[in-house]
């Protein structure tokens, strides 16, 4: 019994602090979507995220090409969140996203281009040491073809990422 206790004590002292994701210098791949509601196309897509420790920054790219000619839609954007608070399994960040969407208009009309800014907050929860789900809340500010501006409050956007250490 004494040997087991001594071995357990030695292992506990020799082991380091357990880290979840969000480690400085890690890169995550996955999918993320802004809180901007665009029907029928979601503003987001495949994403890449770099975690610098005090903040994380990333970008996304989405593409859709349905049946028929001249109906390709795409989106591109980026995001930045400064970590206001972090724990071993989560972080809370303040920042936002910027996205550009290009939609093919129906019935032969001109293509529509939109610019959207989503300032707000993001929570990342690490389900494992290198897998995170995220949720955003904030305000969506957008314009389509520079012909008007919409400001709406939205409840959630989100994503999932796998981090490589």
- List, for residues 114-123, the tens digit of each pLDDT value: 899 999 999 9
Q: What pLDDT, on the 0 to 100 scale, is given for residue 37? A: 66
Place of tokens 């795409």: 74
The C-alpha atoms of residue 137 and residue 118 are separated, in whole angstroms, by: 9
Q: What pLDDT, on the 0 to 100 scale, is given for residue 8? A: 36
Number of helical H runs and strand E runs in the chain: 1, 8
Count the alpha carbons within 13 Å of 21 in the hemisphere toward its beta carbon: 27
- List, for residues 88-107, the tens digit of each pLDDT value: 899 999 999 999 998 887 66
Among the ranges 12-26, 111-125, 148-162, which has the highest mean pLDDT value? Answer: 111-125
Which structure tokens are listed for 60?
Answer: 């996304």
pLDDT surpasses 80 at 165: no
Using pLDDT thresholds of 50, 70 and 90, give the confidence band for residue 39: low
pLDDT surpasses 80 at 38: no
């Amino acid at each position: 019994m004494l040997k087991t206790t001594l071995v357990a004590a030695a292992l506990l002292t020799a082991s380091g602090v357990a880290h979840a994701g969000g480690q400085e210098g890690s890169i995550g791949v996955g999918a993320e979507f802004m809180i901007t509601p665009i029907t029928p196309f979601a503003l987001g897509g495949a994403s890449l995220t770099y975690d610098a420790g005090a903040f994380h920054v990333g970008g996304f790219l989405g593409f859709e090409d349905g049946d028929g000619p001249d109906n390709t839609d795409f989106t591109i954007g980026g995001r930045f969140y400064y970590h206001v608070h972090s724990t071993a399994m989560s972080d809370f960040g303040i920042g936002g996203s910027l996205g550009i969407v290009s939609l093919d208009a129906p019935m032969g009309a001109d293509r529509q281009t939109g610019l959207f800014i989503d300032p707000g907050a993001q929570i990342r929860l690490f389900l494992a040491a290198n897998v995170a789900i995220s949720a955003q809340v904030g305000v969506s500010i957008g314009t389509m073809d520079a012909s008007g501006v919409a400001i709406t409050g939205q409840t959630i956007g989100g994503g999932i990422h796998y981090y490589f250490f």
